[in-house]
Amino acid sequence: MDYEDFSESVPILGQKIGGDKVLKRSRQSSIKMKMFNTDHHVERINTTFTSPSMDREPLEKEKLEQIYETLEKVDDWNWDVLKFSQIADTWCFPILCLRLFLKYDIYRKFEEMNLDKWLNYLSALYLGYQFNNMYHNHNHIIDTVQATHYFYKTAGFENFLSEQDIMVGILAAFIHDYEHPGLTSQFLIRTKHPKAIRYSDISPLENHHVAAAFKLMDSDGERDLLDFLDQKSYKLVRKMLVYMVIRTDLSYHFDLLSSIQGKIYGENFPQDTLEDRLTVMTFTLHCADLSKPARSWIFYRGWIDAMMEEFNMQGKMEKELNIPISPFMDEENTNRERVQLAYIDFIVRDSIDILNILSPNPDYNNIIQRDLGENLNLNRKTLQKKIEGEVKF
């Protein structure tokens, strides 16, 4: 997502590690049944992931058990994203995706899905997130994926979506910032970057993210993760992914809000139509992408540092290029707490409030308000106290 625009406006397979637990729903595939066993799972993952291009050691059983342990709370809003990322390391994308797909029974729905191709693709995708980006890196992706899952599972949107919708939503969260340069779209446009020229200054970052992600699928037959879909289904899935990722550009924010507000206050929204489901999925991904101020302060504080450091790096580049420094990116003249307050007040709060209303079951409204709304209020108070000099951090 492009923050500059707002200035202008496991256990993977069972409840416990080991082969003695069963899933709530049976799996017919022999491969899926074998994956109940941790030893087999380690061997399978290592066979798939261990290659010279990944440059990593085989995964040990003890390590996998630690990863599974961190995933036990993946349904919770205050799940420790960075702890999982640190423990799972280069395995984080494929293992997280495996865990979530099993929660939604995606494998049972799509018997022809090639698991190895998904694992290969997600491993390659991980390498496309710049590790020198302070904010737009693999940790941001894990955070967005988990937030998307939270909205689907814990906040109840799962009940409105099909298994294919959920698969698309999770994949969109994984790819939505692929090959992000740590710079804004406006910077690319002002500097006449090749990506801005290629996409005629229209959401150059987001257009590149989704185009490059699809190119990665087609670059190697072993990464063609959507090959199990027939032509009609593939065309629909691609259309949905492109639509959702493009609209993570923050320049679409107020149009998204206006559109969904109009639908909410109309009659019988959402209905079980592609248009309404895609609207909900797009807005949900958008909220997941910008929801960090609604995390617990202990996590949000780190995201503030990461975001502002990335902003400052762009500001320094603009100064060196002798072009106007973008809003919020001049390290010497920017108050980071005021930036965050503006972000909360003008972008995040309204989004969370609408998400509350959009929840398909009244019971879930209280969950969103409890988990996100209270954090947002507490974080705002902490930022205000920092501005007033009452607290230090």
* Interatomic CA distance for residues 391 and 380, integer angstroms: 13
pLDDT tens figures, 266-276: 778 888 899 99
Give the Cβ contact number of residue 285 at 10 Å: 26
pLDDT value for 46: 53
Whether 44 contacts 35, CB under 8 Å: yes
Which of the four pLDDT bands, split at 50, 70 and 90, describes residue 319? Answer: very high
137 labeled binding residue: yes
pLDDT value for 260: 93
Which of the four pLDDT bands, split at 50, 70 and 90, describes residue 365? Answer: low
Mark out the alpha helices in the chain (DSSP H runs): 30-34, 38-49, 61-71, 81-88, 92-103, 106-109, 115-127, 138-153, 163-175, 185-190, 194-198, 204-218, 231-246, 253-264, 274-289, 297-320, 336-343, 349-358, 362-368, 374-387
- Does residue 44 register a pLDDT over 80? no
149 labeled binding residue: no
- Output the six-digit token pair for 63: 């390590």
Single-letter code of the amino acid located at 324: P
46 labeled binding residue: no
Whether 198 contacts 211, CB under 8 Å: no
Average pLDDT score, the chain? 86
* Interatomic CA distance for residues 291 and 84, integer angstroms: 18
130 labeled binding residue: no
How far is Cα of residue 63 from the mean position of the Cα atoms in its chain? 24
What residues have CB less than 8 Å from 119, skipping those under 6 apart? 45, 48, 49, 94, 98
Q: Note the residue count of the chain.
A: 393
Which of the four pLDDT bands, split at 50, 70 and 90, describes residue 22? Answer: very low
- Does residue 322 register a pLDDT over 60? yes
Structural domains of the chain, ranges and CATH numbers in brackets: 69-289 (1.10.1300.10)
Burial of 157 (0-12, 13-18, 19+ CB in 10 A): buried
Which sequence positions are flagged as catalytic? 136
Read off the pLDDT of each residue in 362-373 and give the average, rounded to a whole number. 81
pLDDT tens figures, 157-189: 898 899 999 999 999 999 999 999 999 999 999
pLDDT value for 14: 28
218 labeled binding residue: no
**Least reliable range by pLDDT among 18-27, 133-142, 283-292, 322-331:** 18-27
41 labeled binding residue: no
37 labeled binding residue: no
Read off the pLDDT of each residue in 122-136 and give the average, rounded to a whole number. 94
- Does residue 202 register a pLDDT over 70? yes
